[in-house]
Every structure is written in structure tokens, then in C-alpha cells.
């Protein structure tokens, strides 16, 4: 299979008032389109990525749900699904690291670097492609959640805001994954990242209240960015939620915005700088 995409257009080669930022976006979309075409030619990779969260929902709802309850009362499925939505966003970290590392190992990244294109296009294209895939995955999981009994109780605006916060978390995780993929080359680094996804996801309020954990562990879980997004999504969806006494647990909507923006502010520039320095 041909892994290359149509040659991007260099901003430096285009006369006139067109901004470099605009042509960087064009180059980035060209790179993202390559990944979209790859999914079309090998759809089983995308299908497996969609199957995993569905199986997770089935396991928690039908195998473990009967033994679990929400502190303070409420439907467990409605309590669970916002946590599952956030979990899928965080578990996309391994997919991003794998894709970036694979391109670097096969020499595709070096081929892109040899083209007269924006220096940020490859990492921006990777981000666009992953966000498209994550949006599809979230939509499928939402549909399946409705089938197993989940629903939101607020208005459409609140629901859209919750979905926006979930995708904002994924956007931040993408940039973390891009940077790690550029730094950690080889299967060993991928395995480490995929292994760390589970404690990162489960060490949160996605499935159990942090108040039920040992004090020190609950504090760590409260400060997990995923916990803020889960709590904010539950609040916006009108689903059963379990708050807490710490300041961060009392301000989930604020922190569900602050955490992802802070991660992007750190890892987006690091990713572009790392890409520019490859082979240097």
C-alpha cells in the first residue's frame, strides 16, 4: 500500500496575501487525509477500535453492574457512561503514540520532512486525523449507551457542551501522544504507554467515588484531569454524580477546561519543536 499523500503545498511557494497559517492548515489537512484514506483501505483497524469500548460497556453494565451502586443513589448505567466516554478519550493515547512511532520507524516522517511544507503540518495533520477518529468513536459509544439505558436529562446545549469537553480532553491527549511518539521510538515505548493507559484511566472517578479510596489515593484521583472531565460531563448530562470536599472536585466545569488547555499549551509547542529537530 502506498503510504504517501499528495505533495503538500508550501506556503513559501505561494505568492500573494495568503497567510502562512492558512497554508499550514492546508498542509495539515493533506497529511490528515492520508490517514483517512488508510482507514478506508484497512477498515478493520477502525472497527476494532470501535469494538473495544463497546465490549467495555457490556462488561461493566451486564457483568459488574449488578454488584455496583452509586453512592447517594441513582442509576449505575447513567453514572457509568460519562466515565466510559472519558475513558475512551484517554485510551486513544496509545493509538496516537503507535501511529506516530510507526510513521517514524518506516521512514514516512523523514519523507514528509524532505517536502517543502509547513514544519507543523505533520503533527497538526496527526492531530486532525485522531480527532476525526475520536469523534466517530464517541458517536458510536453514545449510540450504544442509549441502547443499554443511558440518557441525558438536560437540554441539547448542555449535552453538546459535555461532548465538547470530552473532545477537548481528547485533543489534549493527542498532543501528549504526538510528543511521546516522537520521543519514544520502538515497540518498547509503545508497550509502556499502552500499559500506563489503564492506571491513568482507572485512577479517577470514572467508576468509583474517590472518597471510597485511601485518602492519598483519592487525592491523586481527584487531581487526575480525567476526573474533572467526567464530573463535568455528569453534571451537564444530568447524570448521577458523586462530588467531594476538595476544591478541585467542587469546580469540575472550570478544571475540565483548564486541564486540557494547559496540556495543549505545553505539549503542542514541544511536539512541533521535537519534529523540527528530528535528524538534527
Task: Identify the sign of the CA torsion 66, 68, 71, 74.
Answer: negative
Distance CA 162, CA 198 (A): 23
Distance CA 92, CA 176 (A): 11
**Whether the predicted pLDDT of 117 surpasses 80:** no
**Whether the predicted pLDDT of 5 surpasses 60:** no
Q: Could you tell me which residues come within 8 angstroms of residue 219 by beta carbon, excluding any fewer than 6 positions away?
A: 210, 246
pTM of structure: 0.87
pLDDT digits (tens, 9 = 90+) for 28-75: 888 888 888 877 787 777 788 788 889 989 988 888 877 777 877 788
Distance CA 176, CA 100 (A): 11
**Whether the predicted pLDDT of 167 surpasses 80:** yes
Kindly indicate the confidence band of residue 9, based on its pLDDT and cuts at 50, 70 and 90.
very low
What percent of the chain has pLDDT above 70? 89
- Position of cell 477502525? 46
pLDDT at 121: 80
Give the range among 56-65, 93-102, 107-116, 265-274 with minimum mean pLDDT. Answer: 107-116
Distance CA 64, CA 62 (A): 6
Distance CA 268, CA 172 (A): 9
What's the mean per-residue pLDDT of the chain? 85
pLDDT digits (tens, 9 = 90+) for 123-160: 888 899 999 999 999 999 999 999 999 999 988 999 99
Distance CA 163, CA 142 (A): 10
Average pLDDT over residues 198-206: 88
pLDDT at 64: 80
Q: What's the residue count for the chain? A: 280
Residue 214 φ then ψ, to 5°: -55, 150
**Whether the predicted pLDDT of 240 surpasses 70:** yes
With contact defined as beta carbons under 8 Å apart, do 50 and 137 qualify? Answer: yes
Give the range among 6-15, 91-100, 153-162 with minimum mean pLDDT. Answer: 6-15
pLDDT at 227: 96
**Whether the predicted pLDDT of 1 surpasses 80:** no
**Whether the predicted pLDDT of 15 surpasses 50:** no
What percent of the chain has pLDDT above 90? 43
pLDDT at 16: 43
Reduced 3-state DSSP string for the chain: CCCCCCCCCCHHHCCCCCCHHHHHHHHHHHHHHHHHHHHHHCHHHHHHHHHHHHHHHHHHHHHHHHHCCCCCCCCHHHHHHHHHHHHHHHHHHHHHHHHHHHHHHCCHHHHHHCCCCCCCHHHHHHHHHHHHHHHHHHHHHHHHHHHCCCCCCCCHHHHHHHHHHHHHHHHHHHHHHHHHHHHCCCHHHHHHHHHHHHHHHHCCCCCCCHHHCCHHHHHHHHCCHHHHHHHHHHHHHCCCCCCCCCHHHHCHHHHHHHHHHHHHHHHHHHHHHHHHCCCC
Amino acid at each position: 500500500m502506498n503510504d504517501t499523500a499528495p505533495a503538500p503545498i508550501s506556503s513559501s511557494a505561494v505568492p500573494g496575501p495568503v497567510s502562512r497559517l492558512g497554508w499550514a492548515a492546508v498542509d495539515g489537512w493533506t497529511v490528515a487525509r492520508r490517514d483517512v484514506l488508510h482507514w478506508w483501505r484497512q477498515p478493520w483497524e477502525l472497527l476494532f477500535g470501535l469494538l473495544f469500548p463497546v465490549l467495555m460497556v457490556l462488561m461493566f453494565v451486564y457483568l459488574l453492574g449488578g454488584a455496583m451502586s452509586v453512592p447517594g443513589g441513582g442509576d449505575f448505567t447513567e453514572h457509568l457512561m460519562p466515565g466510559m466516554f472519558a475513558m475512551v478519550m484517554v485510551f486513544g493515547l496509545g493509538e496516537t503514540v503507535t501511529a506516530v512511532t510507526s510513521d517514524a520507524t518506516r521512514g514516512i516522517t523523514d519523507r514528509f520532512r524532505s517536502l517543502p511544507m509547513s514544519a507543523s503540518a505533520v503533527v497538526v495533520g496527526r492531530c486532525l486525523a485522531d480527532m476525526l477518529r475520536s469523534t466517530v468513536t464517541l458517536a458510536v459509544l453514545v449510540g450504544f449507551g442509549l441502547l443499554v439505558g443511558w440518557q441525558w436529562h438536560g437540554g441539547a446545549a448542555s449535552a453538546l457542551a459535555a461532548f465538547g469537553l470530552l473532545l477537548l480532553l481528547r485533543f489534549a491527549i493527542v498532543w501528549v501522544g504526538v510528543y511521546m511518539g516522537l520521543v519514544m521510538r520502538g515497540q518498547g515505548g509503545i508497550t509502556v504507554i499502552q500499559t500506563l493507559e489503564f492506571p491513568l484511566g482507572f485512577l479517577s472517578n470514572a467508576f468509583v467515588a474517590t472518597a471510597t479510596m485511601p485518602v492519598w489515593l483519592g487525592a491523586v484521583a481527584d487531581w487526575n484531569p480525567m476526573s474533572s472531565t467526567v464530573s463535568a460531563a455528569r453534571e451537564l448530562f444530568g447524570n448521577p454524580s458523586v462530588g467531594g470536599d476538595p476544591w478541585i472536585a467542587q469546580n469540575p466545569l472550570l478544571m475540565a477546561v483548564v486541564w486540557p488547555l494547559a496540556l495543549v499549551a505545553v505539549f503542542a509547542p514541544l511536539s512541533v519543536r521535537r519534529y523540527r529537530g528530528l535528524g538534527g
